[in-house]
Structure 1
Amino acid sequence: MAAAHFAAYTFIEPSLREIPNLAHVMIGALLFSFGGAGFLGNILAGVLIHRFTKSIITAGLVALCLALVGLGWFGPQLGTDRVLVLLVIWGAAVAALFAGLQTWILRAAGSTIMTAAAIHSAVINSAIGFGAVLGAQILTVAGVSGVMLAAGMVVIVPLLIVLPQAVPQTVLKKGSLLDG
């Protein structure tokens, strides 16, 4: 998830430059909106994380995936307003994800919390570099929209890993809602 985010985030500004008739000063406003949404996503996650950790992570992954796929698939033709909506969704989702995943990992760590925190930090920092390199490789083949689309598709992998953990076990048992 983090590598996919940073692959797309590395090329967010060139992506915004492709919006037709967008004044260059608006790029800063759009990026500010992304950051503001991240701030709010972080606060919201902080308030709800202790009761809804897995739900926040699952919803964050779905929102991140949809925002990146939307930006990649439709890109600049969406216009400024719709791109702004997707950037706000992306910013809030990724901030909630970083808070949610760190909480989940540290809770699971038990007495090895310091080691888990160090490993988590190393993974995130590695994802920054790996994501940027991955995004650059995709850029040469598929352009900026391709980077966004590929990043969104990559987010499906952690979503498929987390989703079974987020669904209550009673729902998965025989005679449950899934059995019809």
Structure 2
Amino acid sequence: MTSEKSAQDMTLKSWLALFILAFSTFTIVITELAPVGLLTSIAEGLSVSESAIGMTVSLYAWVGALSALFASVFLGNVAKKRLLLTLTVVLLMSNVLAATVSTYTVLFAARVLGALAHGAFWAMIGATAVAIVPTRYIGTATSIVFGGVSAASVFSVPVSNYIGIHFGWRQAFWLMAALSVVAFFGITVLVPRITSKSAIGLEALKSVLKSSTLWKIYSATLLAVTAHFAAFTYIGPWLQTQHFLTTSIIPVVLFFYGIAGLAGNFLTAIVIDKYLKVTVSVSVLLISTVLVFLGLSGASLSATVIFAAMVIWGVAVSGIFVGFQTWVLRMADHKTFPASSVYVSFFNIAIGIGASAGAWMVSAFPVQRLYIVAGVAIGLSVLLVASIPTCMGAARTISEKFYESN
């Protein structure tokens, strides 16, 4: 396979590489979120409070944000495949350590170790996907790779909760360690060597931060993702306000939301390369409409309407997550690594801000008020989206500059 050919055609190995990268994102995100389903089990096992275990989840997001920026400055000259493998080993070590801890302090350290790998891995994975596909497939590649995020969001909490209840919380971490091993060997066999010419270091990071176009994308991401997570973090309390929705049905509603997210990834992959701005704009407006509707509708919605709203929300959120990531990769030119790192940092910061803002609003106002505010806020991000160019002129055939097959 020549570099010229790889820049023009998608091969079977390219597709397989994307799917193992998707499996890898599934592994890192399930490692991040699984403890949510294990809070009670771990707390009882280590004789600490559930809030203390919850802190290890929040810390993961913040450390991941810093790790992404650190990686773009200091690790950009490391070969992408070698770095992915190294980070996978670090993730493996984190999960093994978490599975064998006897004190909260060691668990805390294990989570910090995993978060360091998480941020750097997420920042690297987007640039890696871009490097192994032709430019016209960037959106498709991003949809596939970050489909692992949607899958992890669906399965991490219920699966970890089931394992924790029936087999013990340590076995959940052993499972994540096993997934890390599979990811390691998959990357070894399927992901090609990539010669990165992406700009690196502080100067490259400063250059990215001087880009008005990228700042518009980052700002839109911060606003939209913050609003989304402020609302989604408290989807449980909102569902519990509905008179026609029994408690036993709530997990089913959330499962449908997750499945809709997976379907949204598939639909986004089909249209995003040709209709990037339209995809993101429609997704933003759909979520805005759903959230405002849910906030204004009181507590008497039928189960059918609630299920429909959750499906629309789940499908649309993929257009936001994948869309903004694709946009960054398109516009970054030869600075894909630092540009993606900053995006990952903004995304993780948005998760933290959204959860905190949601907590404040729910403590001061009815949860319906939160949904109205979040819906309006995410709707306002469409104004930023409208001002972002989609021209590919600046983003030349990135794969031609980065790719070198085995």
TM score, norm. by length of structure 1: 0.88
Long gaps (5+) in structure 2: 1-223, 390-406
Please name the residue that 2:297 is paired with.
Answer: 74
1:51-98: per-residue Cα shift (whole Å, max 9, x none)? Answer: 010010000011010011111111432221111111111111111110
Tell me if 1:108 matches 2:331: yes
Q: Which of 30, 35, 45 is the aligned partner of 2:253?
A: 30
Alignment deviations for residues 142-163 of structure 1 (CA, whole Å, 9 cap, x no partner): 2111111110010122111113
Q: Are the aligned partners of 1:105 and 1:116 in contact in 2 as well (CA < 8 Å)?
A: yes
In 1, Cα distance between equivalents of 2:301 and 2:383: 28
Distance in 1 (alpha carbons) for counterparts of 2:298 and 2:265: 26
Instruction: Check conservation: 1:75, 1:83, Cα contact below 8 A.
Output: no
Contact 1:41–1:93 (Cα < 8 Å) also in 2:
yes
**How big is the shift at 1:116?**
1.0
1:65 matched to 2:288? The reply is: yes
Equivalence map 1:46-65=2 (5 Å): 46-65=269-288
2:366 match: secondary structure: helix
Residue 141 of structure 1: how far off its partner (Å): 2.4
Of 374, 390, 395 in structure 2, the residue corresponding to residue 151 of structure 1 is: 374
2: CA distance between counterparts of 1:157 and 1:54?
A: 15
What are the equivalent positions in structure 2 for 1:137-176 lying under 5 Å apart?
137-165=360-388
Deviations 1:118-158 (A, max 9, x none): 11111111111100011111112221111111100101221
Select 1:45's aligned residue among 268, 272, 286.
268
1:5 equivalent in alignment to 2:228: yes
SS at match of 2:304: helix
8 Å contact from structure 2 (residues 244, 301) kept in 1: no
2: CA distance, partners of 1:5 / 1:12: 10
Output aligned runs, 1:100-139, within 5 Å. Answer: 100-139=323-362
Question: Which of 16, 19, 37 is the equivalent residue of 2:242?
Answer: 19
Contact 2:264 2:315 (C-alpha < 8 Å) held by counterparts: yes
Distance 1:29 1:75 in 2: 21
Q: CA deviation at 1:21?
A: 3.6
Contact 1:5 1:131 (8 Å CA) reproduced: yes
Stretches of structure 1 that go unaligned for 5 or more consecutive residues are 167-180
Deviation (angstroms), 1:108: 0.7
Separation (CA, whole Å) in 2 of partners of 1:159 and 1:30: 28
Percent of matched pairs sharing the same residue: 33
Distance 2:370 2:257 in 1: 18
Where relative contact order (Cα < 8 A, 6+ residues apart) is larger, the structure is 1
The answer to whether the 8 Å contact 2:244/2:303 transfers is: no
The secondary structure found in structure 2 opposite 1:137 is: helix
